[in-house]
C-alpha cells in the first residue's frame, strides 16, 4: 500500500510489543494521537498510556477510533484480526510497522542496522554513543537501552538510528543514508524460500544506502554480500583485511579489546561481556567515524553502552543462583550468549531454559540448537515451541531439540512451565547461572524461576 501523504490518529494493533511500542512512542513525540490494543497488559502499555496513548486490552473492532487515519500492524498479526478487518472495510490505510517507520523517518539521515544477529545491541550502541557525543539522534530499537531507559526517542538532529528487520524483507522500505550489516544467515526461509533470496535482499539493502555501507569482514554471508556490491564498503571484524580490525579480545568478564584503524590502535573495555559484543562495538565505531566523529571520542562513547532489555539481562539472584534472560532465538545467538555467560560465570554452571521459536525454524534447526546448547550449557531444559505467526505443525515440539542431544542426561523436554521452573531450581546451586533463551514469551517464566529458587532455598 502506498504511504499516505498525511497521518493524524494512528492505531497500533499489538502496541505492547518491543518494536511497536517504540514506534508508537515516536508518533506520540511527533504530535500524533495514538491509540492501540494488545492481548495483555505490560510495562510498555503502562508507559505509553502515561504519555497519552489510549490502549485497550483485547482485540475488538470497537477499539478502532472513528478518526483513525492509519492502522499499523506487524507480521505476527492474524489475518482475521477484528481491528484489521474493520480498517480495511472502512478504507483506512493499513501499514506494516516498517512502512509506518519509513513514513516517520522521511527527511532524516537514516542509519539502518540489519543482520541476522546483533541488530538490537548494535542499534543500542549507536544510540548510546550518539547521545553521548551530543548528536541528539532519534532512534528506535527492539529493546530498552540501558542508560537511555527507553526503546525509542525523538531527537532534534537529522540523524535517525533504526533497527531494520530483514525477516520479511521490510528493511528494503527505508531510505537509508548508512547501512550496517552485522551478519547474514539462512534464517527466515519461511519468507524468502532460499538462502540465495536472503543474500539478494541484503545486497539490495546495502546498494540503496546513499552515503556509507559498513559490513562484517568475518561473517561468510556478509562477506559474500560485500563482494557483490561493486562499490566501496567499510569492513569490521577480526579479519586481518578488515578496515576496522578487532584485536586482542579478552572476554573473561566485561570484554576488552583493541581496534586497529587508520594506522592507529585504540583500546577499550565495554560494560557488557562477550566476544560478539567486541565485534558489535567495532561495527558501531565504524559507522561513527564514517559519520565524521573523532575516533577516540567515538570509541569512548560506544564503551558507555550498558546493554539492552532481554539481552543477557539479570533479573535476580536467589541463594547464590543468578537468573538471566536473553532474546536469543537462532543457534548462532544461543552460542554467543552462552559463551558470554561462560566468560563471567567463573566456577559456576550454566543451566539453559530454551523456548524454540516458530515451528518452521524448530523443524529446520533443531540439530543446530541442540549442538549449541549441549556444547555451551551444562544443563538444558527445553520448553515447547512458541508458534508466533505460525499454526501448530503435527510432530513439531520442543522435543525435537532435546532428542538431538548426544548426552540425553543433560537435557529434559518439559512443556509445563511450573514443572520446568521447579526442575531448573532443583538443578541449580550457588554460583550457577540460569538463563532463559528465546524471543517468544519465555521471559515470563522468570518470576516462576525466582519463586522456585526461593522455595528451594527456604526448604
Q: What is the pLDDT of residues 113-146, one digit of tens each?
A: 999 888 889 999 999 999 999 999 999 988 888 8
Cβ atoms within 10 Å of 227's Cβ, excluding its own: 10
165 and 188 co-located in one domain: yes
Burial of residue 403 (CB within 10 Å: 0-12, 13-18, 19+) is middle
Cβ atoms within 10 Å of 196's Cβ, excluding its own: 10
Q: Which pLDDT belongs to residue 447?
A: 92
Query: Which CATH number do you get for residue 328?
Result: 3.90.190.20
Q: Is residue 3 part of a domain?
A: no
Taking the C-alpha atoms of 346, 347, 348 and 354 in order, what is their torsion angle to the nearest 10 degrees?
A: 70
**pLDDT band at 220; cut points 50, 70, 90:** very high
- For the cut 70, the answer to whether the pLDDT of residue 34 exceeds it is yes
Q: Is 404 designated active site?
A: no
Listed residues 275, 303, 331: the one ending a domain: 303
Q: Is residue 207 part of a domain?
A: yes
Contacts of 167 (CB under 8 A, 6+ apart): 75, 187, 188, 191
Query: Which CATH number do you get for residue 40?
Result: 3.40.50.720
152 and 231 co-located in one domain: yes
Q: Give tens-digit pLDDT for 395-420.
A: 999 999 999 999 999 999 999 999 99
Closest alpha carbon to 440 in 317, 310, 307: 310
Cβ atoms within 10 Å of 314's Cβ, excluding its own: 11
Give the rounded percent of residues in the chain with a pLDDT score beyond 90. 67
- For the cut 80, the answer to whether the pLDDT of residue 291 exceeds it is yes
**pLDDT band at 378; cut points 50, 70, 90:** very high
Q: Which pLDDT belongs to residue 302?
A: 98
Q: Is residue 59 part of a domain?
A: yes
Q: Is residue 395 part of a domain?
A: yes
185-191, Cβ contacts within 8 angstroms, sequence gap of 24 or more: 185/116, 185/117, 185/221, 185/330, 185/332, 186/221, 187/116, 187/330, 187/361, 189/360, 189/364, 190/358, 190/360, 190/361, 190/390, 191/167
448 and 350 co-located in one domain: yes
- For the cut 60, the answer to whether the pLDDT of residue 1 exceeds it is no
Q: Which pLDDT belongs to residue 188?
A: 64
Find the mean pLDDT for residues 300-326.
87
Distance CA 445, CA 137 (A): 35
3-state secondary structure (DSSP) of residue 17: coil
Q: What is the DSSP string of 226-268?
A: HHTS-S--EEEESSTT-SEEEEEEE-SSEEEEEEEETTEEEEE
**pLDDT band at 191; cut points 50, 70, 90:** low
Among 74, 120, 380, 397, the one annotated catalytic? 120
Find the mean pLDDT for residues 292-317.
89
387 and 450 co-located in one domain: yes
Distance CA 376, CA 333 (A): 12
- For the cut 60, the answer to whether the pLDDT of residue 381 exceeds it is yes
Q: Is residue 260 part of a domain?
A: yes
How many domains, in total, are found in the chain? 3
Among 119, 199, 235, 436, the one annotated catalytic? 119
Eight-class DSSP state of 308: B
- For the cut 90, the answer to whether the pLDDT of residue 6 exceeds it is no
- For the cut 90, the answer to whether the pLDDT of residue 434 exceeds it is yes
Closest alpha carbon to 124 in 138, 143, 99: 143
Q: Pairing relation of β-strands 350-354 and 433-437?
A: parallel
Q: Is residue 308 part of a domain?
A: no
281 and 329 co-located in one domain: no
Q: Is residue 386 part of a domain?
A: yes
Distances (CA, A) of 323 to 141, 145, 408: 24, 20, 24
Q: Which pLDDT belongs to residue 2?
A: 64
Query: Which CATH number do you get for residue 175?
Result: 3.40.1190.10
257 and 400 co-located in one domain: no
238 and 318 co-located in one domain: no
Find the mean pLDDT for residues 78-102.
92
Contact 143, 13 (CB under 8 A): no
Q: Is 163 designated active site?
A: yes
- For the cut 80, the answer to whether the pLDDT of residue 177 exceeds it is yes
Q: Which pLDDT belongs to residue 410?
A: 94
138 and 69 co-located in one domain: no
Listed residues 303, 328, 355: the one ending a domain: 303
Tell me the residue range of the domain where 31 lies: 9-96
186 or 266, greater pLDDT: 266
232 and 121 co-located in one domain: yes
31 and 109 co-located in one domain: no
277 and 330 co-located in one domain: no
- For the cut 90, the answer to whether the pLDDT of residue 215 exceeds it is yes
- For the cut 80, the answer to whether the pLDDT of residue 186 exceeds it is no
Taking the C-alpha atoms of 111, 115, 118 and 124 in order, what is their torsion angle to the nearest 10 degrees?
A: 20
Listed residues 303, 328, 344: the one ending a domain: 303
The mean predicted confidence, pLDDT, of the chain is: 91
- For the cut 90, the answer to whether the pLDDT of residue 389 exceeds it is no
Contact 435, 324 (CB under 8 A): yes
Among 83, 163, 313, 374, the one annotated catalytic? 163
Residue with the three cell numbers 550468549: 337
- For the cut 90, the answer to whether the pLDDT of residue 203 exceeds it is yes
Q: Is residue 138 part of a domain?
A: yes
Q: Is 119 designated active site?
A: yes
179 and 280 co-located in one domain: yes
Q: Give tens-digit pLDDT for 335-364.
A: 888 988 887 888 899 999 999 998 988 998
- For the cut 80, the answer to whether the pLDDT of residue 187 exceeds it is no
Distance CA 277, CA 271 (A): 10
Contacts of 388 (CB under 8 A, 6+ apart): 76, 357, 358, 440
Q: Which three cell numbers stand for residue 346?
A: 567463573
Q: Which residues pair with 187 in a beta bridge?
A: none
- For the cut 80, the answer to whether the pLDDT of residue 217 exceeds it is yes
Distance CA 83, CA 87 (A): 6
Amino acid at each position: 500500500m502506498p504511504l499516505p501523504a498525511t497521518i493524524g490518529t494512528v492505531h497500533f494493533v499489538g502496541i505492547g510489543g518491543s518494536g511497536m511500542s517504540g514506534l508508537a512512542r515516536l508518533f506520540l513525540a511527533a504530535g500524533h494521537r495514538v491509540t492501540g490494543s494488545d492481548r495483555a497488559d505490560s510495562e510498555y502499555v503502562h508507559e505509553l498510556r502515561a504519555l497519552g496513548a489510549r490502549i485497550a486490552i483485547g482485540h475488538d473492532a470497537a477499539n478502532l477510533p472513528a478518526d483513525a487515519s492509519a492502522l499499523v500492524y506487524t507480521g505476527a498479526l492474524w489475518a482475521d484480526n477484528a481491528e484489521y478487518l474493520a480498517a480495511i472495510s472502512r478504507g483506512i490505510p493499513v501499514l506494516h510497522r516498517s512502512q509506518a517507520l519509513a513514513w516517520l523517518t522521511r527527511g532524516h539521515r537514516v542509519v539502518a542496522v540489519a543482520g541476522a544477529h546483533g541488530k538490537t545491541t548494535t542499534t543500542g550502541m549507536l544510540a548510546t554513543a550518539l547521545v553521548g557525543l551530543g548528536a541528539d539522534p532519534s532512534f528506535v530499537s527492539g529493546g530498552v537501552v540501558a542508560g537511555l531507559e527507553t526503546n525509542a526517542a525523538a531527537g532534534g538532529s537529522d540523524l535517525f538510528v533504526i533497527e531494520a528487520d530483514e525477516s520479511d524483507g521490510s528493511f528494503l522500505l527505508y531510505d537509508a543514508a548508512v547501512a550496517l550489516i552485522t551478519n547474514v544467515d539462512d534464517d527466515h526461509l519461511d519468507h524468502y524460500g532460499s538462502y540465495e533470496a536472503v543474500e539478494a535482499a541484503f545486497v539490495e539493502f546495502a546498494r540503496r544506502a546513499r552515503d556509507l555501507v559498513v559490513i562484517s569482514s568475518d561473517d561468510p554471508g556478509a562477506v559474500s554480500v560485500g563482494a557483490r556490491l561493486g562499490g566501496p564498503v567499510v569492513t569490521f571484524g577480526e579479519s586481518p583485511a578488515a578496515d576496522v580490525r578487532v584485536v586482542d579480545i579478552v572476554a573473561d568478564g566485561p570484554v576488552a579489546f583493541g581496534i586497529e584503524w587508520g594506522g592507529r590502535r585504540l583500546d577499550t573495555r565495554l560494560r557488557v561481556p562477550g566476544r560478539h559484543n567486541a565485534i558489535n562495538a567495532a561495527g558501531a565505531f565504524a559507522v561513527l567515524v564514517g559519520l565524521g566523529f573523532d575516533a577516540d571520542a567515538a570509541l569512548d562513547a560506544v564503551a558507555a553502552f550498558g546493554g539492552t532489555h532481554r539481552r543477557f539481562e539479570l533479573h535476580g539472584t536467589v541463594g547464590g543462583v543468578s537468573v538471566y534472560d536473553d532474546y536469543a532465538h537462532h543457534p548462532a545467538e544461543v552460542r554467543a550468549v552462552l559463551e558470554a555467560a561462560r566468560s563471567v560465570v567463573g566456577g559456576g554452571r550454566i543451566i539453559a531454559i530454551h523456548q524454540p521459536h516458530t515451528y518452521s525454524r524448530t523443524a529446520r534447526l533443531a540439530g543446530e540448537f541442540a549442538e549449541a546448547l549441549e556444547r555451551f550449557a551444562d544443563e538444558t531444559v527445553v520448553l515447547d515451541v512458541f508458534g508466533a505467526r505460525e499454526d501448530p505443525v503435527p510432530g513439531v515440539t520442543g522435543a525435537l531439540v532435546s532428542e538431538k542431544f548426544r548426552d540425553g542426561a543433560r537435557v529434559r523436554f518439559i512443556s509445563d512451565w511450573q514443572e520446568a521452573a521447579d526442575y531448573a531450581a532443583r538443578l541449580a546451586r550457588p554460583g550457577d547461572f540460569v538463563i532463559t533463551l528465546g524471543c517468544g514469551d519465555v521471559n515470563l517464566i522468570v518470576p516462576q524461576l525466582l519463586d522456585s529458587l526461593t522455595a528451594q532455598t527456604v526448604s
